[in-house]
A and B are shown apart, each in its own frame.
Chain A
Amino acid sequence: MSAILLLWAALVSAGVKQFVIGNSEHTWRDWGDYEGVDDASRPGWIQPRRTTRDVNILNELYRTGRLFFLENPTDPRYKPGDGRIWTPNAAYQENAKLLMLADGKKDSLSYDYFNRLASNNGVCIYIDLGAPYPVDEIKFYPLLFGAHQDLYMKGYELYANDGSPETQDEKGRPIFHLLDAVPTNTDVVVDNRNFPPQYIRYIKLRCTSPQPFEIDQIEVRGEGYIKRATFTSKVIDLGDIANLGALRWHAEVGPGASVTIRTRAGTDRTTLIYYRINELGELEPLPGRTDEENRKLWEALPDKAKGPVVDDTDNWTLWSPPYSSSGETFVCRGPRRFIQIQIVMQSTRASSRASVDSVAVEYSQPTMARRVFGRISPNIADLGVRRTYTYTLVPEISEDDIGFDEVRIVTPTEALVNSVEVGGRLVPQDKYEVRAEPNLLTVRLLDPSYRVRSSQDTMRIKFDCLVLVYGTVFMGKVFASWEEGLLGQDVEERALGDLSVQGSEGSLGIVLGDVDASPNPFTPNGDGVHDATNLNFKIFQMMGTAPISVGIYGTDGHLVRTLLSGDAESGSYEVPWDGRDGDGDLVPPGVYLYKVKLEGDERKFVRFGTVVVVY
């Protein structure tokens, strides 16, 4: 399959391309693994499986080999997500026999351990369906002939839990809620539907009668969509490293349902590392070229030789946070060749579901470089103090890469470029173009001879800037402006923090600072000279906004005028005052107080100062 993809990629010319899953070329079934996914009910779409009342969920688990006995099954085939059945009131061998409660066989065998002299009051049977299913009926009964019919459970309580983390105690055990209690049961076949349809993963059947009982079968039925279904794509090989663009998808989401999409990217085909334990007791990674290959090699090992299976975090990123909307940029810093997509469809209502038609990833080739590493220095600076920074770009360029001539750097405040250097050569000022916006600095090399084309062409940009927030990252992207349609390439960090500027320790805790008034004194006499003053201050460090107010007060404390009232975020501020009070009249000459107050979540930050009005 990857050979076909390579061929397809080669046929497409340089520019932005799309890899789509869910079309006729890359069908869902061929391009991923399912967990609870149904792709048959709606051709071309994936959605959660739906259960119907004619399917006994417990029997289905048994038939598909996904039902195990014991609370901690010892069967090596057991995987989290499989079903379990157990009772704490019987020994190991008797627990093994519990599987017959789900075999669906109407034969002469039933679970008869509790057909005994000892009191059965309090005996419990637990069932884990492996996943939350919509359930509205739980049925159980003994053998329905002869004396066995008298051995029905004479009193019981049914409990359930939906398996969500919020309904588990601190040890991860489910906290059950009561579905129904029948202290005196006279029904041989208990067909309990006395509870509203709901998602159930765990069931507890508790006997409240001391009388002996047998159970032949337990049936669990319901109708609706399962609560959660997951599609995980195979590793997608883009043929060569590519710059990744937008992630788009088309889905339909019913009420109470949701679609969550995550991605990750890597440099090789294996997302997991399967280890074997060698003769010396050391861990050795298995050499397979794909996860599937490694998994087969690993499963073929004897138990003692099976080592751990871990995520390959050296070559793969972790799963991204969920994308909030279609069209967001693929979360990955730098180009990658291999990507993977995971789609989770969930619902809080059994009658509602989310379904996905297709998902597509934008990417462009060729790349400007294999990798472009960036570093900013210095890494530590006083917040609010303008200083010179050096932004260094170290490319790794192969012959398949085209290089770049444009750099865009995200800056916290407007930057002023001092110099640009490429490959050790200073670029004359007329050979590059600068566009400085409040939060973005763009430098473009005008002369092709200065383009960055090889790994020796380290680029350095010196600029003056002001940092207001601890841990400001100067993210960057490089572009080949002569090639239209190519996506930009992220500047990466070789070591975490290379592109970050931390505040000095002395800056910590300063949220409101550099407060002054200028000019001070001022003369609001209309002569055009110092007719107004500016109250300057900086807000450091904040995320989001906080209420701010700036006011002028008399020396007796009375409010003369409120100059500013609203929300503010980190930044530099200048608030003018023209010497007039709240009624618009010029204030008498004298000394006035100004107060800047920022109401942070933790506390208020207040700064005072004086400003003099003379005429």
Chain B
Amino acid sequence: MRKAGIFVLLLCSSGFAQPLIREPLSPGGPGVLMGALEPALRKWYVPQELYYMYGWEQWRYSNYARDLYKRYVDINLQGNRYYDIFGNYVTRGWQIFDWSQEQPRDFGSSIFKSPKYASWFDNLLISSAHKGQYYTALTVGDEIRTTLTPLTFSKPTFNGIQLDFLSDKYSATVIASRISNPGTPRMKDISPPETMSDFTNLVGLRGTVQLGRFVTVGATYVDAFVGRSLDDWAENSLKGRLSSGQNAGKVRKITIRLSDDSPEDGEAGAALFSEQIFIDGRPADIHPVIKGGEFVKGHYEANGKNQMLLVYDISGWSYVDETGTVRDVNWFKRVSFALVLANDYKVEITSNLQVDATGQEIFLPVTRAPGNVKDATNLRVVRFDYGLPTANEIYGVTLEVSDLYGFWLRAEYDVNRRHRRFPNQNPEITEHTLATDRSVAGYLTLAKLAYPWYAYLEVFHLDYDYSTTSYIVDMNGRIFYDDAQRYWFEFVDDNDDQDRYPDWDRCSANQRAGNDYELQNGIFPGLDENNDFVSDFNQNQNYQPDYEEPFLRYSVDPPEFLFGMDMNHNTIIDRFENDEEPDYPYRRDRRGYNAYVGVEVLPRMKLTLGRMEERTLSRKEKSEATYVLLTYEPSFPGVGDLRVFENLVRVRDNIPDNLVQWEQLPNTKGAMVPFEDPLVCRNTLVNTFYVDFKYTGKEGLNIINKFKYQIYHQMERTSGIRKDSRLVGLINKADYRFVLPGRVVFWPKFKSMYLWRQPFKTGELERKELWEILSLNLAYPVFERGSLEFGLEYTRFYNLLKRPAVPPPGYVEDFQGLVLAAQFSNQVDFMGYRLVSKVGIRQQTRYFRKTTRTGNVIFVRIYAGVE
């Protein structure tokens, strides 16, 4: 039996520094004891623990009158002695982490994490060394922030090991993990390790070399592959092997599903002209049962939502090979297909061995037609082999140029290969035919700065099927391909809010997914500037957004007053977008460029002119825009700060950029809600103008003015879309804090907000309203650290649209509102915490034309904090 594999053994010594090799403690086996060579009949006991540690001899009378009794000491307090594979003494202590892979052997993949791994080291071990310019570190952890490159490997919580090397010019990293089960800390030191016979391992490598002063080149390799510890070491393959669960039968039925890759247009989907199945390279006379689709003029079509299934039953077919032997399904090694297809086809495949937990067949993608062809000019033979996924491999190169004649360049190119093998349980078939799909991704960004000019160029291409997702096996070697939460592993996580928690739920990711509709902790990129995992629009996490809540609405303005770049023209500012895709720098299935040039016209005033084009590869969608951007941020000492933002875009965009956005619906605390791109920029002129001014001339006096004007002007009529959709908003607010004698604070605030919003779609409710809010706060100190606060907020709301005869849902009438609040606050230190208590009452009344609505809240709240 050959033993081979990875040995990663980390030990913790008992605290005494000991040399790695210590002869008296090296294992040498028992020897000859000369003292035992006396030819005596009496029983003699070899001196062991009692003799050496406690001076106890069998015949000696124990009297503790003078030499007091010493209790037994647990020898395990100092741990055990450990030796390496050469027999060298390592240390006395505890084994903390061990990852071994022994082949061929059942349950040969073994990971052990001692309970001390969690309790002593909090799931992180670092073993480092350096000498001169050379540094190295071995990190073992459950949540390692690891990035190789944005397109190959990037996770905030990688569970595995990372070995890094760094010098002045060179750097290298190796990552590895048994991603199918990276192990959890055991209950006890003597608990058995977690072993698997079928496993999915991940290995990754990245190396960079600095050439000269400015250029750094790098190479990356990442591979996740299925292996079996029962196989011989030499049979391991980076292209993966079939697990015992995958190879648990014979392929008897294969079903190919053809459908329309662009179902929304309802036409010119998949057109099938002919098909042929090949078994072991031989054309087989097996005709599929065709379900679904329409037979039109000699071919089958699946348009819109229709799907066509080609069901091949290969169990009854056989052939005679060159040796004259009859080969039936028990001997098939390869099944491939040739389909003559045209138009906008999507091909998926399944078999009786490719199922979910309930036994239902699961389709996996094969290929899609590029573009959205409707005239059959792309008629071609599509050939592919059937197999089950065994490995996902990515390799690529990077190039960085830093400040070379003012140029900055970053480029990356990666090739993704997805391997699969044809399963056949027949034990005499040891080599399972391999098939590989290949796709590429790459980008280049180039920037040049020559003050006052600057320029930028980015070019990118990501194939639609570029994938950093790998399947992982379970304890039984099975994979249920549709169960993303349990059976998928991502090289690149979706983490739009860039926190420590990936946004999606994946096995062994040690993460708290934030995209469950039930959870209150959502994902809101850009809207959590204080990084407290709470939306900045609802800091007190109640059922009202802060911009609608009494007293808080003075400071917090509604999201309509946010501004920024929307380069994908889906009406959501890019930095607030959340999707459910890996965080690649560009989206999959896209190709395009963006270039701009600009100049700093005046200090802090920048003018930029740019052009972008982007198209989808598998569909016929395109986005192109020419834009002008002006920003100005002067600061006038003694007066205030001004910000001006003007963005004019001429755009044609029909690429849907759908999202999942955090939304606080009425009377809820917020939830993730699917957002569908309204595609209102198909041929549009978009102008966004924003200006705000913050007065800082007098201390204590705050004056803020904001104005936003945005218009989407449609250059051609589109059914259901307004020709002009405007947003006009104006906020003026001022407050001044008076500190009166006796530490009484009087704080008046006034806010006026005008908002006119014309929705994109005709028939939706338009809003035109004016808010005037006067808020008076009075705080009167009582006791040492207590205060009485009184608040009054008077609101006038004007709905500036003419009241319809039958007000639609959501229509709000004019009203006057009055909020009265009183609160007693106190702070005290209690049991090591600062207790802040608030007792109070708030009454809110709205006077409409015909009705009055009143709401009261009486509260007693106590907070315990550390600040």
Q: Which residues does A use to contact B, with CB under 8 Å?
A: 122, 157, 165, 170-171, 175-176, 178, 180-183, 196, 313, 318, 321, 469-473, 475, 495-497, 499-500, 502, 505, 508-509, 511, 541-546, 600-603, 605
Contacts and interface: CB of A to CB of B under 8 A. Distances in A.
Interface stretch (B193-201, B365-373, B822-830, B840-848): B365-373
Contact of A541 (B306, B377, B543): B377
A605 B377 contact: yes
A175 B674 contact: yes
A181 B666 contact: yes
Given A122-B518, A175-B674, A473-B298, A542 B273 contact: no
B264 to A, nearest CB: 10
Interface in B471-486: 482
A502 B377 contact: no
B340 A157 contact: no
Given A497-B274, A505-B381, A508-B380, A196 B809 contact: yes
A600 B373 contact: yes
23 contacts: A122-B518, A176-B517, A180-B667, A181-B665, A181-B668, A183-B668, A313-B289, A313-B291, A318-B292, A321-B294, A470-B273, A470-B340, A471-B298, A473-B297, A496-B290, A508-B380, A541-B379, A544-B376, A546-B377, A600-B373, A600-B377, A602-B370, A602-B373
A318 B343 CA distance: 24
Contact of B340 (A175, A475, A502): A502
Nearest to B517: A176
B134 to A, nearest CB: 49
- Most interface-central of B297, B305, B375 (chain A CB within 10 A): B375
Contact of B377 (A165, A181, A497, A542): A542
Nearest to B291: A318
A505 B543 CA distance: 66
A543 B340 contact: no
Given A157-B668, A196-B809, A508-B379, 20 more contacts: A122-B518, A165-B305, A181-B668, A182-B667, A183-B668, A321-B306, A470-B340, A470-B379, A471-B274, A473-B298, A475-B298, A495-B287, A502-B274, A502-B340, A509-B379, A541-B376, A544-B374, A600-B373, A602-B373, A605-B377
A600 B668 contact: no
A543 B543 contact: no
B343 A509 contact: no
B580 to A, nearest CB: 10
B378 interface: yes
Contact of B375 (A502, A509, A546): A546
Given A183-B543, A500-B298, A502-B273, A542 B375 contact: yes
Contacts of B668: 157, 178, 181, 183
B853 to A, nearest CB: 14
A471 B665 contact: no
Contacts of B665: 178, 181
B interface: dominant SS: loop
Contacts of A603: 377
B591 to A, nearest CB: 15
Given A472-B298, A509-B380, A601 B373 contact: yes
Q: Can you list the 9 inter-chain pairs with the closest CB atoms, starting with the nearest? A: A473-B298, A600-B377, A181-B667, A471-B273, A601-B373, A543-B376, A602-B378, A183-B543, A471-B298
B327 interface: no
A580 to B, nearest CB: 32
Contacts of A122: 518
Contacts of B377: 511, 541-542, 546, 600-603, 605
A85 B287 CA distance: 44
A157 B665 CA distance: 11
B219 interface: no
A196 B273 CA distance: 48
B253 to A, nearest CB: 14
B438 interface: no
B375 A543 contact: yes
A251 B668 CA distance: 46
Nearest to B292: A318
B397 to A, nearest CB: 30
A496 B374 contact: no
Contact of A543 (B268, B290, B381, B517): B268
Contacts of B290: 496
A120 to B, nearest CB: 14
Nearest to A546: B375
Interface string B372-396: 1111111111000000000000000
Interface in B267-290: 268, 271, 273-274, 287, 289-290
Interface residues of B, number: 42
Nearest to B274: A502
B286 to A, nearest CB: 12
Contacts of A176: 517
Interface string B666-696: 1110010010000000000000000000000
B299 interface: yes
A508 B375 contact: no
B620 interface: yes
A468 B827 CA distance: 89
A457 B378 CA distance: 42
Interface in B598-651: 620
Interface in B797-849: 809
Nearest to A170: B482
Contacts of B287: 495-496
A271 B148 CA distance: 59
Contacts of B299: 471
Given A318-B292, A541-B377, A601 B371 contact: yes
A391 to B, nearest CB: 15
Contacts of B273: 470-471, 502
Contacts of B372: 601
Given A500-B298, A511-B377, A542-B376, A471 B340 contact: yes
A486 to B, nearest CB: 25
- Most interface-central of A196, A472, A543 (chain B CB within 10 A): A543
A438 B340 CA distance: 27
B291 A543 contact: no
- Most interface-central of B290, B297, B340, B671 (chain A CB within 10 A): B297
A548 B417 CA distance: 40
Contacts of A313: 289, 291
A307 to B, nearest CB: 16
A171 B343 contact: no
Nearest to A380: B274
Contacts of B268: 543-544
A543 B343 contact: yes
A605 B375 CA distance: 13
A439 B474 CA distance: 60
Nearest to A181: B667
Contacts of B294: 321
Contacts of B517: 176
Given A471-B299, A543-B271, A601 B674 contact: no
Nearest to B381: A508
Contacts of A180: 667
Contacts of B378: 600-602
A288 B178 CA distance: 57
A55 to B, nearest CB: 25
B257 to A, nearest CB: 15
Contacts of A497: 274
Contacts of B482: 170-171
B382 to A, nearest CB: 11
Contacts of A502: 273-274, 340
Contacts of A318: 291-292
- Most interface-central of A176, A182, A542 (chain B CB within 10 A): A542
Contacts of A178: 665, 668, 671
Contacts of B306: 321
Nearest to B377: A600
A545 B667 contact: no
- Most interface-central of A178, A471, A542 (chain B CB within 10 A): A471
Contacts of A157: 667-668
